[in-house]
Amino acid sequence: MTALLELNDLTRRFGGVTAVDGVSLTMEEGEIYGLIGPNGAGKTTLFNLISGAMPPNRGWVRVLGEDVTGLPPYRVVERGLARTHQIVKPLNDMTVLDNVTVGGCFGRRKLSLKEAARRGRTILEAVGLDDRAETLAGHLTIAGKKRLEVARALAGEPRLLLLDEVLAGLNPTEVQRMIEVIRRIREEQGVGILIIEHLMQAIMSLSDRLMVLNFGAPLAEGTPEQVANDERVVEAYLGDPDMAEKLMAES
């Protein structure tokens, strides 16, 4: 079976700094795969390489068996990939529905306005924003804007969704609602999800597998339990030997 995402020896340098250093991984369709690591570990740069926002210095990216290395973002989108960003930037003077409609028009199938709006309403229901469809996006709370960011990406009908810290800045109730949205996306739409997150309890409970990055390079990979109990991860990232047991008990 063809893998959803394959990375091989992916590397990106900025002058004398290697931000991403030889990352290889394979994701299957419908999988939730977590990326964790300290600030500056190269997680968002890796997303930029996968999505076409910047080219790698070495290595390749394949989506559903097709080499997309170095393609511009709009071409990568056509291959079935969509992403969110850490800093959400909705079209504030347009309605929530119009924001999502734009995502459908410029997504994998380049839907017509009518088709994109129809899909947009379905997506808004899936993320819990259907009652805000006619609200201006700029009037949403930060939690609402985060869900809108996810909805706009989903409107493009991706097979692979990259989520960059969608839980950041949310209170515990909002975090739980977003976790439920992410699970529903996988269960109801069969979308594979590659997620960056700093909330350890959340990403441990969500992910089927995880990779830990440290100074741009893979430090560990495996199930949440395997990663949480890896001595290298405890030393470089978790810091507390008792944290692994606590995380697994809470996840």
Q: How far apart are CA 195 and CA 47, in angstroms?
A: 10
Q: How far apart are CA 177 and CA 175, in angstroms?
A: 5
pLDDT of 249 higher than 70? no
pLDDT digits (tens, 9 = 90+) for 156-193: 999 999 999 999 999 999 999 999 999 999 999 999 99
pLDDT digits (tens, 9 = 90+) for 190-236: 999 999 999 999 999 999 999 999 999 999 999 999 999 899 888 87
Backbone torsions φ then ψ of 231, nearest 5 degrees: -60, -35
Alpha carbon separation from 50 to 72, 199, 204 (Å, rounded)? 10, 23, 23
Q: What is the pLDDT of residue 219?
A: 96
pLDDT of 242 higher than 80? no
Q: What is the pLDDT of residue 1?
A: 80
Q: Could you state, in order of their start, the residue ranges of all structural domains in the chain?
A: 219-251
pTM score, two decimals? Answer: 0.93
Helices (H), 128-233: 142-154, 172-189, 200-206, 224-228, 231-233
Q: How far apart are CA 144 and CA 139, in angstroms?
A: 9
Q: What is the pLDDT of residue 235?
A: 84
Adjacency order of strands within the sheet including 217-222: 81-83, 160-164, 192-196, 32-36, 209-214, 217-222
Query: Comparing C-alpha atoms, which of 127, 97, 89 is closest to residue 114?
Result: 97
Q: What is the pLDDT of residue 246?
A: 59
pLDDT digits (tens, 9 = 90+) for 79-138: 999 999 999 999 999 999 999 999 999 999 999 999 999 999 999 999 999 999 999 999
Q: What is the pLDDT of residue 126?
A: 94
Mean residue pLDDT of the chain comes to 94
Q: What is the pLDDT of residue 76?
A: 97
